Amino acid sequence: MQPESADRTLWLNGQAVQTRAGTLHALLAERGLDAAQRAFACAVNGTFIPRARWAEQALAAQDRIDIVAPVVGG
């Protein structure tokens, strides 16, 4: 697991964000996203990351993170 240290710029759903989060799980927690309370999936640099790997998925400067949620309705 990458240590949380200096701020870095990541792209979260197309917007630049500054973070110290070293992992996907830490970034989600920093942003107040709790998968236990809301259904969503994540991709890093276009690759889907299974929920079981969020805590070990290291993040680097300029990574592109996409968070998507299911839409209900017709």
pTM score: 0.85
Q: If you compute the radius of gyration of the chain from its CA atoms, what whole number of angstroms results?
A: 12
- The domain total for the chain is 1
Q: What is the pLDDT of residue 1?
A: 47
CB neighbour list of residue 52: distance below 8 Å, 6 or more residues apart: none
What domain range includes position 33?
A: 8-68
- Residue 28: DSSP 8-state: H
35 within some domain: yes
**Position with higher pLDDT, 71 vs 11:** 11
- Please write the tens of the pLDDT for every residue from 12-52: 999 999 999 999 999 999 999 988 888 999 999 999 999 99
Residue 18 sits in a domain of what CATH number?
3.10.20.30
CB neighbour list of residue 49: distance below 8 Å, 6 or more residues apart: 24, 42, 43, 57
Instruction: Check whether 4 has a pLDDT greater than 80.
Output: no
CA 44 to chain centroid, in Å, comes to 7
